[in-house]
Structure formats: C-alpha cells, structure tokens
A = this chain, B = another copy of it.
Amino acid sequence: MRATLMYGAGDVRVEKVPDSVIKQPTDALVRVTAACICGSDLWPYASMKPEDGPARVGHEFLGVVEATGPEVTTVKPGDLVVAPFAISDNTCEFCREGLHTSCSNPQAGFWDGEAEEGGQAQAVRVPLADGTLVKLPVAADSALIPSLLTLSDVFGTGYHAAVVGGVNERTRVTVIGDGAVGLLAVLSAQRLGAEQIILMGRHPARTDLGRAFGATDVVSARGEEGVAAVRALTGGHGAHVVIEAVGTMPAYEQACGIVRPGGVISRVGAPQYEEAPVGFGSLFRHNIRLAGGPAPVRAYIEELMPGILDGTMEPGRVFDAVTDLDGVPAGYQDMADRRSLKVLVKP
C-alpha cells in the first residue's frame, strides 16, 4: 500500500509501505476514503529534524472497515467509520468523563505517536476499534463526507475550545486564529449561542467564512493594536472567553491582553512553548482562567453529527482544496504558504 511519510522539515513523500494488517484482537483495518492535512502537521513540516524521520503522518481520516479482530463488536466490514485523532477505549474512567485524550488504556494514544500507521495513507490499522471508531450513517461518496471528516479533529477541537471556555448565550467570545480550528470554534460558539463572536485573522477568504459561520466582528490587527480593537468592541473590558487556536507565544500574549477579568483563555492550538506568563501581571490579578488541551473529539461526535446530517451545520466548508495521495506533498506546501486553508485527501 501507499502512505505519506515526513522525512524532515519541508520534505514529505508518498511511498510504498508494508500493508497495514490486523495485529490485535481489538483492531480494525480501515481503507481510507478521505483524509486531510492538519494545521498541526505544519509544525513538524516547519521544524522536523531528519534524524527524527521518516515518520508516518496524518491523524484525520474516515473510511471503510475492511476487516476486524475477533473481539471487535461495534463495527463490521463494509461500515463507513470516522476515526478521532486519539485512540481510546471509550470505557476507562477518563473516557467515561469525556476525556478520551487521557484514556488510560495502554493501547491508547495519538496517531502521531503510532510508528507504523498514519491517516494520510490507503489504509490504517486502528487499535481499540470499538472505542475509537464511530460508524457514519451515509455512503462513502456522500456529499456530507467533508463535513463528517471534520469530526475526526478540527470540528471537535473547535467545539472543545468553546465548551471548556464555558461559552453560552451571555458570553462575548474572541477567537484568535483563522485556521480551520479557529473557524470551527466560531461555528461552535455560534451553536452554543454566544452573544458576540470576534474573529481575529488577516486572510479575507478565511474571515469571510468565519462570518458565514457566525462571527459578528472581524479584527485583522494583531498585537497591541489588535488588543485595543477587541477591547473597543467589548465595551472596554475584553472578552469573557478567548479561544486561542494558534499555539504561539504572541497568540497567548494577545489572549492575555483581550480577556476580561474573570474570563477564560481556552487553548486548543498545540502550544509551541512550555513556559508562559501566569503571575500577577497576566492571569492572577484578575482571576483569569486557563483551560484547554488536546480535544477529546470522540466525546463530541454523537453530539455534533446530527447537525451535519440534517444540513444545519457545514463544517466541511473549511476544505478549499482536494487532492489524491500524490498531491499530498504539494498540499503541505500550499497550506504552509497559506494558499490552501485545508486540504482534503482522497487516497
């Protein structure tokens, strides 16, 4: 079979690899029919050292079950399924609390931590198939596939940001970042009824989509100027909930600048820093809370799917390019250069 490998920064290749096969009785083998490139894939694409490669890549996919191990009971060959970016058993105490990204099963983890599997490929061995996979009630060629594919990561991640931020009808929300996660955080905040949704981004095609998803205001300025603009839009005090969907220190500092006293900074952009200001001068003085982490998207699939199936939500609009497996390396470069917002891959 063929799969995508990252050899180092800027070096992505599609190559022949050993076929994925069932290894554990709880595995399923999935033929990938739709996958995508994630904004978080761009971090290693920008910085990966050759000695850390080659690594299989891709953590967002859906496809058709080809085979299952003898202990798998919830999916069967022929089923169309979506896989969250984290493998989980859906039964441990953390999964039962909806925190599937902290599943305590020894086989649990992130696709990015699996040495011999990756979503940007023709097939994937899925561990803990009963816990990880969710059956989709449509055909593999349904027009809803792009939207259903976002349940594997970006929609659930944007929704997680809004949920742990505590968005409700009384909250003013600011979303930092106009990537797919930021835009779907806008859609999520809109779904949760936010009073005001300010999107901070500087790519008009993206912020236009943000407006379509429910953004009430767009701020293209950054830094101090951006902070001042958001404060002006929020009556001077800042936003109740700031969703930080970038992951850089400037984005964190911007969040500190625009969050309201007593408010929440909800982070879902994987932080590219370990230390950050949290003391009296940043979070503590005004009881600012910090929340977020890798989204347990598995917990949200059943909740978000009906709105996709009935057409009231179209998160798949974040895809602005489609390619086959051969086009994946160019897709990375297009996303790195901001020519593409998000690339859908049909292996």
Chain A contacts to B: CB under 8 angstroms: 93-94, 97, 99, 101-102, 104, 164, 237, 261-262, 267, 270-271, 273-294, 296
Contact = CB atoms under 8 A, between A and B. Distances in A.
Contacts of A293: 283-288
A284 B294 contact: yes
Which of A93, A97, A237, A283 has the largest count of B CB atoms less than 10 A from its CB? A283
Nearest to A280: B271
A173 to B, nearest CB: 17
Given A102-B286, A291-B289, A277 B280 contact: no
Contacts of A102: 261-262, 286-287
A38 to B, nearest CB: 16
Contacts of A285: 293-294
B286 A292 contact: no
A116 B287 CA distance: 27
Given A101-B287, A276-B279, A290-B290, 14 more contacts: A99-B286, A102-B262, A102-B287, A164-B289, A271-B278, A271-B284, A276-B276, A278-B290, A284-B292, A284-B294, A287-B292, A287-B294, A287-B296, A289-B290
Nearest to A266: B289
A262 B285 CA distance: 24
A262 B94 contact: yes
A176 to B, nearest CB: 16
B267 A274 contact: no
15 contacts: A93-B237, A97-B262, A101-B287, A104-B237, A270-B280, A274-B279, A274-B281, A275-B277, A275-B279, A276-B276, A276-B279, A283-B293, A285-B294, A287-B296, A289-B290
A278 to B, nearest CB: 5
B287 A278 contact: no
A265 to B, nearest CB: 9
A269 to B, nearest CB: 10
A164 B271 contact: no
A316 to B, nearest CB: 26
The 6 A-B residue pairs with the shortest CB-CB distance in the complex, in nearest-first order = A287-B293, A102-B261, A274-B279, A290-B290, A271-B279, A99-B262
Nearest to A278: B276
Contacts of A270: 280, 284
